[in-house]
Amino acid sequence: MLLFALSAPASAHRLHVFATADGHQIRGSTYFARGSAATGARIEVLDPQGALLAELTPDAEGRFVYSAAAPIDHRIHVYAGDGHQAEWMIKAEELSGGFVRVTTGEQGMADTSPITPTAPGMPVPPIAPSGGDQQEHEVVLVATLDPALEAAIERAVARQVRPLREHLMAAEDRIRLSDILGALGYILGLTGFAIWWSHRRRR
């Protein structure tokens, strides 16, 4: 029981980090289980091989921003002293919409498209007429979104969903803490009842 009681404050100070991609930027926040911002934390941004890309300091609300140089996996590692650590992974696919590939055509015209583009709609070739009949054949177009527009929509949706995901995670942390405190109170209550019952029987 004593070990459980000692573990409750440690859980109450558990560190968390949350991050999402917004175009070519990584935006996130770091906080403790009770919701207080981890303002004194040290944030490291690492590449897939573990090499340090940047070291950040959160603002007064625990928020941070990092501008990615390429659409690769980014590991966000947070240290807050007393052994508290937290980590979050941003996958390359989440950042791909914030980068474009520039290609030059035969006429010297530059064409830009996202790094991982979705192929634009292409016409389906008409079926050659049999028997030499000169019939008209309709060309069917496969409708797809322009890659740049699709990337912009994904960024807008992610920007709107980010606060909701962040609030849900914070709510889960508060629920876990209340569960711990409730269980601790329940155990202490049972212990008190057992002591009272033991004294009563001795009388």
Residue type, 130: S
Condensed to tens digits (0 to 9), the pLDDT of residues 144-169 reads: 556 666 666 666 666 666 666 666 66
Considering the segment(s) 2-97+148-202 as one domain, its CATH architecture is Sandwich (2.60)
Query: Which of 2-16, 63-77, 114-128 reaches the highest mean pLDDT?
Result: 63-77
- Asked which of 12-26, 80-94, 102-116, 141-155 is least confident by mean pLDDT, the reply is 102-116
Quick check: 43 and 70 in contact, CB under 8 A?
A: no
Global confidence as pTM:
0.53
Is the confidence at residue 74, as pLDDT, over 70? yes
Reduced to 3 states, what is the DSSP secondary structure of residue 155?
helix
3-state secondary structure 133-150: CCCCCCCEECCCCCHHHH
* N- to C-terminal Cα separation, the chain: 27
